[in-house]
Structure 1
Amino acid sequence: VAPLEVSFSSVGSSDPDGTIQHFSWAFGDGSSSTEANPLHSYATPGSYTATLSVTDDQGATVSASVGISVSDLPDTEAPEIPTGLSAIPSGSDTIELSWQAASDNVGVIGYRVFRDGVEIASSATTSYRDSGLTPSTRYSYQISAYDAAGNQSEPGVAVAATTGAQPTLTSLSLTPASAQLNIGLRQQFNVSGFDQYGNTIVVNPTWSVNGGGVIDSTGLFTASQAGGPFTVLAEQDGVRATASLTVIRQSNLIDSGFDSDSAGFSYLDDPFRGSGAPAYADGSYLGAGGYSGGALQITLGGIDGDDIFGMSGGWQHDFQLNALSEVSLSFRYQLSQTPFYERNEYSQLLLSIDGVLVGVSPNDFIDQVSGNGNGGAEETTGWRQVELNLGSLAAGSHRLIIGAYNNQKTAANETTVVLIDDLLLRSSSSLPVNLPPSAVASADPQTGVVPLVVNFSSAGSTDPDGTIQHFSWAFGDGSSSTEANPLHSYTTPGDYTATLSVTDNQRATASASVGISVSDLPDTEAPEIPTGLSAIPSGSDT
């Protein structure tokens, strides 16, 4: 075993016709000697080949070798005892263990985990997750280290931890948080439940809605009556979550493919950008040549070689709304210029509602083409389709104008043509101008003993079309707060439901709740010693 000291000998080496003049030993570990019979020590375990080379008086050489095997001393030293053990409960059935690495004269290859004195697992790292435990139960842990030779340290200092209480439902969440649908359609609402540790928990809440239709036991809502916003409520064990929905009634105000006539549209000159050149604008109904069948046509320019600035023409249609409504418009179009326009000469597709231009953001026009400098190809958009939200329009009469504008022409062969087809103007009544906010309530901690100080948070509460202006917390113990993220102390044991209500800048509201469980401190105080004792005889035996 190492270190191994070896005596090497060249006895028996000879030269038949002279004498040996030189000896050379290579010991196989990088060392050498020129002695005839050297002494050499091997410090490292391993297999070595030592080679002797001899040279005679005429320079001839010959070699011979011998094998050397050096083994190590057996490892009998145990690793150090692991230190720094921590045991942290995670939920009701898991404890997370971690500790500092132990050292060893050769090297630690693993650790053994002991629970309540019994080995339960081994780990190649300095951590272990002990799961499947019993809720509200105290466990004691120790860790020992072992090496490749099987040496094992004594278990370290015991550390105890207690698993959390049995999971209980503390909050619910609904998706979607808000919805809008037409009469006769359905909307599935989904619910997620969370326990006091933030983990999901299986729930089967009671569903209800305060109007607009009916909702079944699975959260499927069927719309039957326009109006809203209505509130969808899911509730279980005193924990509630809400969502908002609006039911709308859609109707088609104008729906035409212009296959037989102009569908009530009438043509007019100069409706856009203050133009005043009616002789250079014209409109006509085409029985063919549209995207499919007929179309409305607007033609600008042409006629003569005069320089004309500002030409427009359009088709108008009046429509009536019986109530405040959200109005949308879709149609197909093709905008074209002949090849002779200059680069500074452009043509636009325009649309107005009650005299106000409606464009594709950020512009006040739907589409535009410009000249390419004489003699190029025709400039055209080809057939395209556009869908526009015209916003909320009040009850009463309104006017839609759709057409074209050309800023200038300088030649008789400069002509702009617009074709309109497949136009659908639709209204949605009972559509709220304001979309409700969404409330998100959370608390830390959610369980503890009196007095329990809880940090409440409204983080995640949003308003899709405005801002949240007001926060209101009801802590379930008769106290309240208007702070967004209040701090509240519970001084009496019990189970509480804290409810957050948020109000947006148009006074729409939403709410969310979170459960708080407060337990009492154990009674460790003895009663006072009784005083004022008196003893008075009463008869012979009392």
Structure 2
Amino acid sequence: LPASSVHAVATANITDRDHRVVAFSANVSGGTPPYTYRWSFGDANSSTEANPNHTYSEGGRYPVQLIVEDSAANRAYSIVDVVLGGPPVITNVSIYPNPTYVNQYTSFNAVGDDPDGSIVNWHWNFGDGSTWDASYSSAYHYYSALGTYNVTVTARDNDGLETSASRLVQVLDQPPYACFYISPNPTVVGYPTSFYDCSYDPDGYIASSSWDFGDGTNGTGSYVSHTFASAGSYLVRLTVVDNAGMTSFLNQTVSVNVNQLPVAHFSYSPSDPIAGQGIYFNGYASYDPDGYITYWTWDFGDGTNTTAYYGDAYHVYSQGGPYNVTLTVTDNFNGRNHTTASLHVDIPPTANFTTAREFGKVGTPLVFDASASNDSDGRIVRYQWTFGDGGSATEAGPIVSHVFAATRTYTVTLVVWDDHNATASFQRTISVVPPKPPFAVLSFAPSRPFVGDAVSFNGSLSADPDGTIVRYVWQFGDGAGGEGAALTHRYTYPGEYTVRLAVVDEDGFAATTSSDITAVSQPTAAFSVSPNSIHAFENATFTANGSWDLMGSLVYHWDFGDGTYGAGWQTSKQYTASGTYHVTLNVTNSFGISTIVVHDVVVQPSSQGVTASGFPVGMMAIWAIVAVGAAVVAVGIYVRRRMHPPKL
């Protein structure tokens, strides 16, 4: 403000808040009276009174200015703020970025105030159907579709009054992001170089990928392989197009060199290896002048080879002799080189022995067999045994036996010398235990044989828990016997027999078992019929002569073929009609074994004639005599009871 000796202070007093009436007063000092006054009320109205009253049409914040001038043209200035009730005020709305992109983070911010209170809520309408409410004035949003959207922000104060402001935001399609990497880079002439497309589209997808390799050749696809024909530096360009047709590209330089072959070198230890010994081969001294080694391939000269990602290897030669070992190294550009070295493998003897059993038994010789020991390029000339119990055999052969006197675990050692005085040793731990007896198990089939049938007897399930059974002795219960793990025997007479088996093991221990077996007989069935010519209503006699069994007694059952039956060695029967009948005899012995015989019997018509009722004449006479006799007997019984009534 310009310098003045006049001083003015403007004051404001709201006299009617509902109608927005304000009383202003000017307090002036200094200068040269009289004074002139000019009030600017901040709503485009003014006054020249010293203490005016003013009515505002609406609420808000109004900066009121007072200018006082004295008679000497000196001026004084004063400003007072008048705040009247009303809606909040929004002074600025910003959107970043604008334009924005589909699915891109977009921030929104509003600046505002409430002249007579505070803003309690900010409501954003993003124009795509989405809204945001918060007590603070900032927000963010992601648009999912292209277009221009009218964004409206509404501020609401503590009196419930609202003010809105709008801005336009433009949503564009995002271009794709071009990205690729090269493997390897640098590369070499003639080596397939891989180009991987890692591009992406933030709001869609990559529709096509095109490559320019800088050597006059092109390619398409998200992954391509290319081989450069000559050395040099090539600018490779990837161009990608998204689903909306937006395009992006990226350039990268690939260096193409002429590959230098790797250098192969290796050593091995021990320097004088022997067959069966692990030999360590070290190829880490190999190197590649312009890259690195990726594979070490070993050819050991014995028909075996191996390839690995590391530079060392172990190998065991099973046979002695000279071998040419070749190491081939491959670098990261498939360049190869090799080197070869000669080595000689000696063959010492090998020592080994087996035992007749896995364990020893006190007092029983245990056989040791070193026949498996050998010398592939010569012969074994000496065997030395140490049994671990103080006993030894220093000038023995490959097969020895030894008796241990006590139960314990012994370490048995064999040392062999070949004809070149090379040695080898072998040890085995032998547990010595007390001997155990065997157990006997017998079986036979069939379980119920007939007399004369061959019965198979088997004792092979018998066992010796700590060795082998050397002898099987059988007694069949009928005075016969035999030896062997399995035998056959025939019983000549029926009956129950006790079979006994005794087994003996290598230690001389024996065990026995027994089982009962029943030999049964098969009866013979036969019969005859008399008379030779049989007539109806005449007695026919059936006799089981010719039937027999070794056990003697039989049970006889007859089936006469006309629905009638009979029993006994001999029985009689009258047929009531002529015809041919199948007569069956079933004989059963005491073992329940049955035999059946069947004969056809021909019955002739009756030789006496037949009455009207179908019965023979002779039979009618006989029945009449029987009837008269029965009547006489009945009369006699009646007369006796009349003459001698019973006593009560």
Q: If the length of structure 1 is used for normalisation, what is the TM-score?
A: 0.28
Larger Rg: 2
- Using CA pairs under 8 Å that are at least 6 residues apart, name the structure with larger relative contact order, 1 or 2: 1
Q: If the length of structure 2 is used for normalisation, what is the TM-score?
A: 0.24
